[in-house]
Structure 1
Amino acid sequence: MAVRGAASRPASGPVVLPGVWPVVLTTERLDLVPLHPSHAEEMAGVLSDPALHSFIGGEPLPPDALRARYERLAAGSPDPGVVWCNWVLRLRAGRELVGTVQATVEPARGRAELAWVVGTPWQGRGLAAEAARALAGRLRELPVGLLVAHVHPDHAASAAVAAACGLRPTPHRQDGEVRWESGGGPDGPTGRA
């Protein structure tokens, strides 16, 4: 079912893009649950491997610092033209959290930037691609025509996730990362900046 609508700001709380956030999305093996500060303690363990941060940057955060970050994300973007959509990935078998997906959506521009991360113990199972495909599919149902991701040129697994979402690499670079994009249609990248 296609979901249509522009972003709106409730009397209090984050900007909401109908049909994207804060709804639970499901895949064959995962529940994509809207991120909440209460996820911080478990997610601190999921993201605790320092090697995981070699491509995503930063370092593992303790639960209290991650909670503060999640509080900022859950509050929503301070820019009224931007919608932050963040989910934790809950593996249905076992019910544990295994990673995150996110989209920074600019409804007026019809654009969304995607990102994903899966904790080291759960990598290599196709979970990031499964979650990112679900998110990309939901965004394509909305008036979001341009999907973008930035992938480190040496991160083959993340490039495979981008490709699984229908994105293709472009010649554009940002902070040393390759810009991948899809116009949402069969023609692929639009070349828009």
Structure 2
Amino acid sequence: MDELPVVTERLTVRRFDAADVPAFAAYRSDPAVARYQSWDAPVPDAEARRLVAEFAAAGEGAPGWFQYAVELRGGGGLIGDVGVCVDPNRMQAELGFTIAPAHQRRGYATEAARCVLDRLFGTGIRRVSAECDARNTASARLLERLGFRPEGHRRRHTWLKGEWTDDLLFGLLAEDHGGPEIFACRPNLLVRDLAASVAFYADVLGFWVGWRWSDRQARFLAGDEPTEPGTALVGRDQVQLMFTQVDGSHTTRLHLDVSSAAQVDELFREWSGRGAEIAEPPFVRPWGMYEMRLHDPDGNVLRVSSPPAH
């Protein structure tokens, strides 16, 4: 296994150090962050220092828990953590993740967790498990985007913070790691309702939200471009889509390419399970492409295709 840190497209995944204590204590003390977690908010400074010291001293890959610090690439500071617990048999592990509220819904948890999963499976781990409170739909959807499969629903299984909670169980095998990867498409779609389009692509199709026009750092368009809330960026895998809000009807067609028919089928199951309007389920077209078609809220047609079989 390569030494930490690991740099991804937008993040640095590294060991914890003492300088992380204030940021760690801040996001773990947020009641919304702690709601479905085992700890209580707020987290006292002394407890935060103790935990960060334990994280910094732990051995990556050794049996037990190891916590990865996640920061924005280029020294942007700690924004969350990803934890793994390696079984004593060193063939299976558990996964958990926490991201500060100000950095949620941008795909950072997915990007960091994928980096950690790559490291885990690279050491010979054969299976990774995860679980979450059944009400924590954001975590459940994130696990599904990472390729985890639902494996159970334990009713009133955990007594936590004065109530019985239902648990959702997920599992990911080494041979299933990777999942469908869209690798080509960067259009600018004209949409009637920016908020509705962003919500559909994020909540139903599993795209991360990069920025919206209301973000100060995004104010770089020319003066004759649409005013807020006119523009946003979303993405998944290597695809990025821009939305520009303009009145009227502007339907178009998008071509999203994946590597195999099995990945088309997997996206069909994922998206139809979240309520996407599937216009045509997957089948082999006359020209040999295995393809499905679906519509977004503006009626734009998304064609998801794999190469012809040889």
Structure 2 partner of 1:99: 80
Structure 2 partner of 1:180: 170
Q: Does 1:125 align with 2:103?
A: no
Q: How does 1:102-117 map to 2 (within 5 A)?
A: 102-106=83-87, 108-117=89-98
1:41 paired residue among 16, 22, 29: 22
What does the per-residue CA deviation read over 1:36-80, in whole Å, with 9 as the maximum and x for residues that have no partner? 343112221233321211111321313222011222333438xxx
**Once structures 1 and 2 are overlaid, which stretch shifts more, 56-65 or 98-107?**
56-65
Structure 1 partner of 2:274: none
Please state how far the C-alpha of 1:89 moved relative to its aligned partner. Answer: 0.9
Decide whether the 8 Å contact of 2:23 with 2:78 is kept in 1.
Answer: yes
**Once structures 1 and 2 are overlaid, which stretch shifts more, 23-32 or 42-51?**
42-51
Runs of 4+ in 1 over 6 A off after TM superposition: none
Corresponding letter in the other structure for 2:170: W
Structure 2 partner of 1:88: 69
Structure 2 partner of 1:72: 54
Is the radius of gyration larger for structure 1 or structure 2? 2
Q: How does 1:143-182 map to 2 (within 5 A)?
A: 143-171=124-152, 173=154, 175=158, 176-182=166-172
- Mapped to 2, the partners of 1:86 and 1:57 lie a distance apart of 15
Decide whether the 8 Å contact of 1:46 with 1:97 is kept in 2.
Answer: no
Change (3 A) 1:57 1:187: closer
Give unpaired runs (5+ residues) of structure 2: 159-165, 179-310
Give unpaired runs (5+ residues) of structure 1: 4-18, 189-193
What does the per-residue CA deviation read over 1:72-126, in whole Å, with 9 as the maximum and x for residues that have no partner? 333438xxx7143211111125612111001111252401111100011111111
Decide whether the 8 Å contact of 1:150 with 1:180 is kept in 2.
Answer: yes
Q: Which has the higher strand share?
A: 2
> Which SS does the other structure have where 1:185 is aligned?
helix
> Which SS does the other structure have where 2:69 is aligned?
strand
Corresponding letter in the other structure for 1:56: Q
How much is the aligned-residue C-alpha RMSD, in angstroms?
2.5
The alignment covers a number of residue pairs equal to 167
- Mapped to 2, the partners of 1:38 and 1:55 lie a distance apart of 26
Change (3 A) 1:150 1:111: same
TM-score, with structure 1 as normaliser: 0.76
Please state how far the C-alpha of 1:169 moved relative to its aligned partner. Answer: 1.2
